[in-house]
């Protein structure tokens, strides 16, 4: 039984790793592929890239709770395998796509079936026997994400030297091979007696957002949280288009830069956050992190040479110290039996930023690199992101300052010196 659990955890780790690697593999070549299929310059292709990101995010937002409920009804195994199969089909379609429209088909299929993270998390919870093993097993999620964000872009950069379609074939092969491996070796984790009937009410993707309207005391902090992730779309949704257009980077250079991002983010999340937060507390970590995010985005906007983007990644990635602290403060306002609902609501907010963020950032970048714009400014979307971050820190400061006066019992939570509400 113990061996079976270890092999199952190995499969889950590889599944999450492939999930993250898959997108990292294709980011370096996606910009040039869209430009090639549309027959337009890469700066104009940015808007079409945003549409692909948004349609994937929309389908994931709508279908993730449905897929999650299906895994409660039919078990984790068939959902995980269908997810891997869906991603494999997506990457094959992207690899063979003769027109831009086919890219939409692939992204919609991936969005509908792409519940590997949610279902894998449920699988881990199923097979973890106690809190110690659960913490250890869930820690593998962070490890898979960190490793995937480094390996994916690096491998994508290497494969891109063989052609812009090569990374798609590699991503498809990884997904389908893992699906085949899981079909023969992955056991089901959810026993039949623990399954429940499918419930459409529980599958409502907008249901979790109601939680925020019912807890107005965290509304301001949730707005701050939303603006952070909206601002970050200036980087996440448009990095490849901007750097290829502005600095004439190759697919290889884009991949290398993203691998550097993976290393920096991993260092911040795994090491620096654990050192800085206990020393300066939650509140100061939030202000410092958001200030660094803002600084990094402003520097990106005015960068004139490619090497500067690597240098400016340092303050931007250091801004990541604010995320865990803000989530800790928000969770401190909610009792333990509502933490799951809170995290679901925050995840929904993140999904919404992925839907609207690329459309705002990429379209602005595209417009201000054409003759129609009142002035030429390729980095303007980074400034929009900086405004979001600056607004976030102002909101957080006002909310936390008011709460320390009106609710003295929360002072310890805000400072990071006491545990959340009980």
pLDDT of amino acid 421: 45
**How large a percentage of the chain has pLDDT more than 70?**
84
- Answer with the residue of higher pLDDT: 402 or 139: 402
Name the residue among 178, 180, 21, 171 with its Cα closest to residue 92: 171
Q: Quick one: CA dihedral 273, 278, 281, 282, positive or negative? A: positive
Q: Which of 35-39, 175-179, 221-225, 407-411 has the lowest mean pLDDT?
A: 407-411
| CATH value of 1-184 in 1.20.1250.20, 1.20.58.220, 3.40.50.1820, 3.10.20.90 | 1.20.1250.20
| Most confident option among 79-83, 111-115, 161-165 | 161-165
CATH 1.20.1250.20 in the chain: give the residue spans.
1-184, 206-422
Averaged pLDDT of the chain: 83
pLDDT per residue as tens digits for the range 92-147: 999 999 999 999 998 888 888 775 666 777 777 777 665 455 556 666 666 677 78
**Other C-beta atoms lying within 10 Å of the C-beta of residue 408:** 9
pLDDT of amino acid 420: 44
Query: Is the pLDDT reported for residue 34 higher than 50?
Result: yes
Query: Is the pLDDT reported for residue 66 higher than 90?
Result: no
- Answer with the residue of higher pLDDT: 234 or 419: 234
pLDDT per residue as tens digits for the range 263-315: 898 888 777 877 887 888 888 889 999 999 999 999 999 999 999 999 999 99
Q: Which of 152-156, 306-310, 359-363 has the lowest mean pLDDT?
A: 152-156
- Give exposure, 289-309, as e/b (b: 16+ Cβ within 10 Å): bbbbbbbbbbbbbebeeeeeb
pLDDT per residue as tens digits for the range 205-235: 777 677 777 766 677 888 998 999 999 999 9
Check: CB of residue 367 under 8 Å from CB of residue 247: no
pLDDT of amino acid 361: 97
In Å, how far from its chain's centre is CA 139? Answer: 17
pLDDT of amino acid 422: 40
DSSP state for residue 272 in the 8-state scheme: I
CATH number of 206-422: 1.20.1250.20
Residue 291, classed as helix, strand or coil, is helix
Contacts of residue 99, defined as CB under 8 A and 6 or more positions apart, other chains included, come to 37
Query: Rounded to an integer, what distance in angstroms lies between the CA atom of residue 156 and that of residue 171?
Result: 9
């Amino acid at each position: 039984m113990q061996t079976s659990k270890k092999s199952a955890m190995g499969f889950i780790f590889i599944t999450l790793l492939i999930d993250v690697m898959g997108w990292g593999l294709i980011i370096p070549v996606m910009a040039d592929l869209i430009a090639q299929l549309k027959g337009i310059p890469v700066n104009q292709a940015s808007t079409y890239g945003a549409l692909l990101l948004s349609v994937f995010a929309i389908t994931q937002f709508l279908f993730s709770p449905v897929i999650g409920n299906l895994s409660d009804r039919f078990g984790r195994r068939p959902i995980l395998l269908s997810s891997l199969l869906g991603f494999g089909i997506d990457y094959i379609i992207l690899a063979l796509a003769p027109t831009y429209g086919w890219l939409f088909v692939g992204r919609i299929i991936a969005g509908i079936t792409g519940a590997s993270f949610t279902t894998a998390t449920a699988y881990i919870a199923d097979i973890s026997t106690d809190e110690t093993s659960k913490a250890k097993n869930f820690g593998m999620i962070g490890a898979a994400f960190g490793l995937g964000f480094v390996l994916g872009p690096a491998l994508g950069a290497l494969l891109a030297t063989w052609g812009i379609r090569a990374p798609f074939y590699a991503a498809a092969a990884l997904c389908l091979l893992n699906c085949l491996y899981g079909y023969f070796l992955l056991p089901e984790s959810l026993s039949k007696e623990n399954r429940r009937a499918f419930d459409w009410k529980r599958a409502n993707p907008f249901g979790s957002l109601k939680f925020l309207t019912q807890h107005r005391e965290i509304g301001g902090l949730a707005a701050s949280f939303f603006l952070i992730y909206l601002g970050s779309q200036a980087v996440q949704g448009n990095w490849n288009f901007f750097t290829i257009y502005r600095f004439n980077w190759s697919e290889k250079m884009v991949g290398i830069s993203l691998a550097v991002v993976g290393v920096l983010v991993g260092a911040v999340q795994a090491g620096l956050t654990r050192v800085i937060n206990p020393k300066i507390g939650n509140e100061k970590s939030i202000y410092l992190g958001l200030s660094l995010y803002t600084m990094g985005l402003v520097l990106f906007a005015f960068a004139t040479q490619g090497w500067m983007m690597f240098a400016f990644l340092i303050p931007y990635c250091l801004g990541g110290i604010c995320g865990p602290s803000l989530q800790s403060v928000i969770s401190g306002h909610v009792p333990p039996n509502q933490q799951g609902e809170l995290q679901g609501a925050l995840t929904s907010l993140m999904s919404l930023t992925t839907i609207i963020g690329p459309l705002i950032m990429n379209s602005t970048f595209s417009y201000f690199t054409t003759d129609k714009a009142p002035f030429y400014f390729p980095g303007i979307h980074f400034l929009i992101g900086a405004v979001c971050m600056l607004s976030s820190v102002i909101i957080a400061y006002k909310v936390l300052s008011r709460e320390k006066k009106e609710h003295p019992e929360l002072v310890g939570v805000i400072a990071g010196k006491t545990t959340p509400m009980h």
